[in-house]
Amino acid sequence: MTPTIQRFPKNPILTPADVKASHPDMQVELLLNPGAFRYNGRIGLLVRVAERPVQEPDWISVPLLDPDAEGGMRILRIRKDDPDLDLAPGETRGFDYKGRGYLTTLSHLRLAWSDDGFHFTPDPRPTFVGQGAHEAFGVEDCRVEFFDERYWLAYSTASEFGVVAGLASTADWRAFNRHGVIFASHNKDVAFFPQKIGGAYTAFHRPSGLGPGGHFIWLARSPDMIHWGAHTCLATTRRGHWDSERIGAGAAPIKTDRGWLAIYHGADCNGRYCLGALLLDLNDPTRVLARSDEPLMTPETDYECKGFYGNTVFTNGHVTDGDRLFLYYGAADSVVCGAELSIRDILSTL
């Protein structure tokens, strides 16, 4: 059983052409995976904007944040025939150089605002930019959740030290407090529950490792949002299924009568990213009550199937209005889209 999905008629709602580059030497390559929230009667998206310098033939140029450099950024420029360069075949997101990994683009987060949830106007300047040694390769894929009178931003960030989860908060979308790295390398897809459970803050996260294990969704608990423990694996990939290779949480789970409804992404052995759902016990979210056998949403349209990383729908932001779920998502790692679903409809599939 598949729920009805109404993709926004104006999809994609934001493309790289809609966003001004952060610097005259840079160009916006991709828009990805927005966080979503309500603020002062409007809907905000916190979009990941991936940029890189204009590329020259025979060279790869990647930008690195560097507080010691002029303008806070320097360009690593490598000849494509440099023997220390290792461009893995088929891999476009990163490469190895002198035994260290790098990303091909540098991302920042940019606000875009809407009165109706369908039409968004991006801010002319970056909102949240990588800062410090652990964020030198930029900030990505931010979940936004409001509680305790603040918006909490959980974002992925990378550097030569690895891919980690950073935490920041803001009350007014102007001043941001940074709370450091909350999950160390390699970790992504952190999303907070909208309220404490059993006296503790609760988060999804997605550690990735070597040897036994995989790209699974974990839960952790915290007394203060800054320090996390009681890690437990919530859900693993499923061999032969649509989510056989890697899974990770979407945005905050939605509280329903039947339990916490969590939208998550899953990738299969062909690298196709789909969306599905988990239903978790309200009082003990480590208990999985139901899980999508079939994906809720698969890449189908042209803008989802073709792009920088095709066959991909990926969400980390939504807002609700009663039973209506406005799901914002990245399509093909290239553009930002929206879709409307019914929460009741999703629950009926579980």
Q: How far is the CB of 35 from a copy of itself (least distance, A)?
A: 21
- φ and ψ at residue 167, rounded to 5 degrees: -125, 135
- Which of 134, 143, 265, 318 is in the footprint of a copy of itself by CB under 8 A? 134
192 contacts a copy of itself (rule: CB under 8 A) = no
Site string for a copy of itself, 199-238 (x = CB under 8 A): ------x-xxxxxxxx-x-x-xxxxx-xxxxxxxx--x--
Report residue 189 as tokens.
């897809």
Cis preceding-peptide flag for 265 (omega within 30 of 0): no
Cis preceding-peptide flag for 23 (omega within 30 of 0): no
Among positions 99-118, residues that touch a copy of itself (CB under 8 A) are 99-103
Q: How far is the CB of 157 from a copy of itself (least distance, A)?
A: 11
Would you say 189 and 217 are in contact if contact means Cβ atoms under 8 Å apart? yes
94 contacts a copy of itself (rule: CB under 8 A) = yes
In this complex, which beta carbon is closest to a copy of itself, that of residue 159 or of residue 311?
A: 159
- Say how far apart CA 211 and CA 208 lie, in whole Å: 10
Which uninterrupted H or E stretch holds 346?
Answer: helix 343-348
- Say how far apart CA 85 and CA 279 lie, in whole Å: 45
Cross-strand pairs, 158: 163
- Say how far apart CA 253 and CA 189 lie, in whole Å: 13
Q: Which stretch binds a copy of itself (CB under 8 A): 112-120, 158-166, 295-303, 337-345?
A: 158-166
60 contacts a copy of itself (rule: CB under 8 A) = no
Q: How far is the CB of 64 from a copy of itself (least distance, A)?
A: 11
For the chain, the farthest-separated pair of C-alpha atoms sits apart, in whole angstroms, at: 59
Report residue 140 as tokens.
């990505």
**Binding-site size, a copy of itself (CB under 8 A):** 52
Q: Which stretch binds a copy of itself (CB under 8 A): 4-12, 62-70, 93-101, 317-325?
A: 93-101
Residues within the interface to a copy of itself (CB under 8 A):
94, 98-103, 133-134, 137, 158-164, 179-187, 205, 207-214, 216, 218, 220-224, 226-233, 236, 239
